Structure 1
Amino acid sequence: MPVLKSDTLDELDLQVLCALEIDGRASFSRIGQVLGVSDQTVARRFRRLSAEAGLRVVAVRDAAALGRDQWMLRLRCTPDSATVIADALAKRPDTQWIGLASGGTEIACMTRPRSPGEHDDLLLGKLPRTPSVVEIRAQQLLHRFYGGPTGWSRKFGALTAEQEAALRPGTWPPAGPARLEPEDEPLLAALERDGRASYPELQRATGRSESAVKRRLAALLASGAVYIDVEYHSEVLGHPVAALLWITTSPAAVHSVGEALATHQEVAFAAATAGPSHIVVTAVFPDTAGLYAYLSGPLGRLEGVQHVESMPFLRRVKQLTYQRPR
C-alpha cells in the first residue's frame, strides 16, 4: 500500500499516533521501547499532538460487537437552522461523526445508541418534532468493512509490521461474548472522557477496587465490547477535505466492493448499509482536486460500482465524543 505523506507532522509524530491507534492505553515507556526513543520523548510528542492535532484517547462501545443497531442519518434542514441542530445533536451521548454538508443545509450523523430507548427517542421522537428538519433519511449499518478499532492513520505506513505486532494488545483478536453490565457505566463514562485514565483514577470514578477495575476493563477489551480509540484533526495530517460517499452496487458486488474500499488509502470508514445505497464511506483528501481524482479514478474504476453520491463536509462538528469548536 502506498505510504501517505503529512505536511505538518514528522515521522515520529505519525509513529506515536499510529501506536496509540493500536493500543491507546499503552504506556509511554512501552511505546518508546518499540519506537526506539525515550518515554519522555513520547510524552512530549503526545502533548504536542494533543495541542496541535486535537488528539484525544477515548473508549468506544462497539455497536457491531454488541449486536446493537447503528444508523447513518441524513437530515435536510432549513438554511438558517442546520448549525443549531448539528450542535444540539453533538451534545447528545448517542451520536458521533456529525458533519455539515450541502452548503450548510444538510447534516450527516452516525448514531451510537446505548439502549433501544435512546434510538427510538432520537429517530421517532426528537427529530420528527423539529420543525426546521425538512427531511430525514436513515440507513442502518449492516456490516463494517473498515474503521472502528482499525484506525486510518495506520495507512500512513509509519510502523513496520513488527512494530505493530509488538504494540498490539495480547487480547487481539477479541474473544467474545461481548456484553456490558449496568455496573459498567461509571467505568465507561470515565474512559469516554479519558481513555488513558489511570487505574487509581478509575478506582475513584467507580468506587471499585483497583484490582476489580483492572479485571473488568481487561475483560471488556478482550471481548471487543469496548475498544480504545483516538480522535484527531485530519487537517494536521495534510488532509483537510472530508466527504461522505453513498455508493450503489449490484447486490452480488456489495462485499467485494466493500473489501476493496477498505484497502484504499483515502478511506477512513466503510460499511454496508440498508437503504437506497448499499455502502457508505468516509474519505479524506488533501484538497478538492484529490476528491475529484478519487471519484474519477480508483472509485470510478472499481468493478461493481454503479452510482456514487458525494457529500463533502462543509464543517465537521463532532468526531467520536468531542464537539469541535467553530
Structure 2
Amino acid sequence: MNLDKRRVVLPVLDREQDRLLAHALQIDGRAPFRRIAEVLGVSDQTVARRYTRLRSAGTLRVVGLTDPLRLGEVPWFVRVRCAPGAAGAIGEALARRPDTTWVSLTSGGTEIACLVRPGGTGGGDTLLLEKLPRTPRVVDVSAHCLLHVFFGQDLSLFTKSGPLTAEQVAALKPANAPDRLLSDPAPAPAYPLDEADGRLLDALARDGRTPVGELAAATGWSATTVRRRMAELREAGVLYFDLDFAPRVLQGNFRAALWLNIEPAAIEAVGAALAAHPEVSFAAATTGDFNIYASISTGDAGAFYRYLTGPVAALPGVLGTSTSPIHRAFKGAGPL
C-alpha cells in the first residue's frame, strides 16, 4: 500500500475528527476503540467505523515496529542518485524490499532516499555495496550509518501539535510506554528475540491492531502470553507503535529532507532543539559529512524558508546545511 499516492478530499469536519483519531492512535496504537471513544466523547462504533474507513482508503494505518538500535542492528540512510527518468522504477523496486523503510523521491526527482535495516550487525552489504552500484541508470550511492534517534519512532508531529488536550493525552497514554522525547543515549546490549517473537513482530508490522487471537495463532502462544510479551517488548523499548498516514491529508503539504553539518560538541544540543521544533517529524545523528538528518514538514515552501532562516539559522555549531524537497513517498513506516 502506498499511502502517499492517494488523494483523499474530506469535509473540514471529517478532517478535524480524523486528526483527533490519528493523534489518539499515535499515543497508543493498540488503545481499545472504547477507550478512544470515551476520551473523544463519541461512540465506540463511530471510532471503529472512522478508522476502518481511513484504513480502507489507504489514508492511515497503525503499524507495530522495532527499534533497530535496541536489537543491535546497524541501520543505514542510503541516498541513490539516478539518471533522469529512472528514479521512479528504482524507488518502487527499493520499496518492495523487506529491509527498507521510508523510501522517498527527492532532489528534483533524480534521487532516492531510504532507510535500510539489514537485520543484523553484519548484514546489508549486498544491497548497499553490490546490487545498487551495479544497477542500470544508478549514478551514485552513498550510505550513512544511523547512530542515535533524537525524535521519531513512536513520536510524530501529532506528539507536538496534535489536537488533543494534555488531559486527553494523559488518559490515552499506555502505562508501559517510555516517558521520553529523546531516546536514551546510554548503550544497552542487543535485546534477544526468538522465532516466535519474530512471528509476533511480523504480524504487528503488517497491522499494529491485529487481534490478540490472531497473534496467538501466529505465535503458538496463549492470549495471556501474547499480551505479556507485547508489554515486555514495549517496556524494553524494542516494540513501538507508529502511524503510516497520507501526508496530504494529515500533515503539512511541503516536506523536505534537512542535512546538517554540526560541530561535535553541539550535536546533542542541536538534536534536542530539533526534537522540540514543530516542523520536525524525525531527527537523528548519522555518520558522514552531514552528521544530523531531519525530516521537515511545513504548510508550504514559504513556511519552509522561514523555518530555515529562523529556527535552523539559530542552531549552535552549524557548519553547513543541505536540503532536498521530498516529492513522493514510495514507502512509509511499515511494510509495503
Task: Determine if the TM-score, normalized by the shorter chain, exceeds 0.5.
Answer: yes
Which residue of the other structure, out of 149, 152, 159, is the alignment partner of 1:144?
A: 149
Preserved contact between residue 216 and residue 222 of structure 2 (Cα < 8 Å): yes
Which residue of the other structure, out of 283, 287, 290, is the alignment partner of 2:296?
A: 283
Greater mean alpha carbon deviation, residues 43-52 or residues 200-209? 43-52
Q: Distance in 1 between matches of 2:57 and 2:270?
A: 35
3-state SS in 1 of match to 2:193: coil
Which residue of the other structure, out of 99, 113, 120, is the alignment partner of 2:118?
A: 113
- Deviation by residue 1:301-323 (Cα, 9 ceiling, x = unmatched): 32322321101012111111254
Hey, what does 1:21 align to over in structure 2? 26
Q: Distance in 1 between matches of 2:57 and 2:301?
A: 23
Structure 1: which 5+ runs fail to align? Answer: 1-5
3-state SS in 1 of match to 2:70: helix
Q: Distance in 2 between matches of 1:168 and 1:317?
A: 31
Identical-pair percentage: 47
3-state SS in 2 of match to 1:63: coil
Hey, what does 2:170 align to over in structure 1? 165
Q: Distance in 1 between matches of 2:215 and 2:294?
A: 35
Which residue of the other structure, out of 74, 79, 83, is the alignment partner of 2:79?
A: 74
Hey, what does 1:274 align to over in structure 2? 287
Preserved contact between residue 94 and residue 118 of structure 1 (Cα < 8 Å): no
Alignment of 1:93-132 (within 5 A): 93-116=98-121, 118-132=123-137
Q: Are residues 235 and 191 of structure 1, via their aligned partners in 2, closer, same or farther at CA, if it must alter by over 3 Å?
A: same
The AA in structure 2 aligned to 1:189 is D
Which residue of the other structure, out of 229, 244, 247, is the alignment partner of 1:216?
A: 229
Preserved contact between residue 29 and residue 208 of structure 2 (Cα < 8 Å): yes
- Cα deviation for residue 129 of structure 1 reads 2.6
Hey, what does 1:262 align to over in structure 2? 275
- State the Cα RMSD in Å: 2.2
Preserved contact between residue 108 and residue 325 of structure 2 (Cα < 8 Å): no
Preserved contact between residue 72 and residue 121 of structure 2 (Cα < 8 Å): no
- Deviation by residue 1:161-196 (Cα, 9 ceiling, x = unmatched): 222222111112289874322221221111111110
TM-score by length of 2: 0.88
The AA in structure 1 aligned to 2:73 is R
- Deviation by residue 1:85-138 (Cα, 9 ceiling, x = unmatched): 111110111110111112221111111222345422211332233232211111
- Cα deviation for residue 197 of structure 1 reads 0.6
Q: Distance in 2 between matches of 1:322 and 1:183?
A: 19
The AA in structure 2 aligned to 1:33 is E
The AA in structure 2 aligned to 1:40 is Q
The AA in structure 2 aligned to 1:129 is R
Q: How many residues align?
A: 318
The AA in structure 1 aligned to 2:42 is V
3-state SS in 1 of match to 2:200: helix
The AA in structure 2 aligned to 1:67 is G
Greater mean alpha carbon deviation, residues 36-45 or residues 70-79? 36-45
Q: Distance in 2 between matches of 1:102 and 1:137?
A: 14
TM-score by length of 1: 0.90
Alignment of 1:192-231 (within 5 A): 192-231=205-244
Q: Distance in 2 between matches of 1:143 and 1:238?
A: 25
- Cα deviation for residue 153 of structure 1 reads 1.5
Q: Are residues 40 and 321 of structure 1, via their aligned partners in 2, closer, same or farther at CA, if it must alter by over 3 Å?
A: same
Greater mean alpha carbon deviation, residues 134-143 or residues 203-212? 203-212
Preserved contact between residue 7 and residue 237 of structure 1 (Cα < 8 Å): no
- Cα deviation for residue 7 of structure 1 reads 9.1
The AA in structure 1 aligned to 2:327 is L
3-state SS in 2 of match to 1:66: coil
Alignment of 1:75-90 (within 5 A): 75-90=80-95
Hey, what does 2:43 align to over in structure 1? 38
Preserved contact between residue 7 and residue 236 of structure 1 (Cα < 8 Å): no
3-state SS in 2 of match to 1:260: helix
3-state SS in 2 of match to 1:127: helix
Greater mean alpha carbon deviation, residues 85-94 or residues 313-322? 313-322
Which residue of the other structure, out of 328, 333, 336, is the alignment partner of 1:315?
A: 328
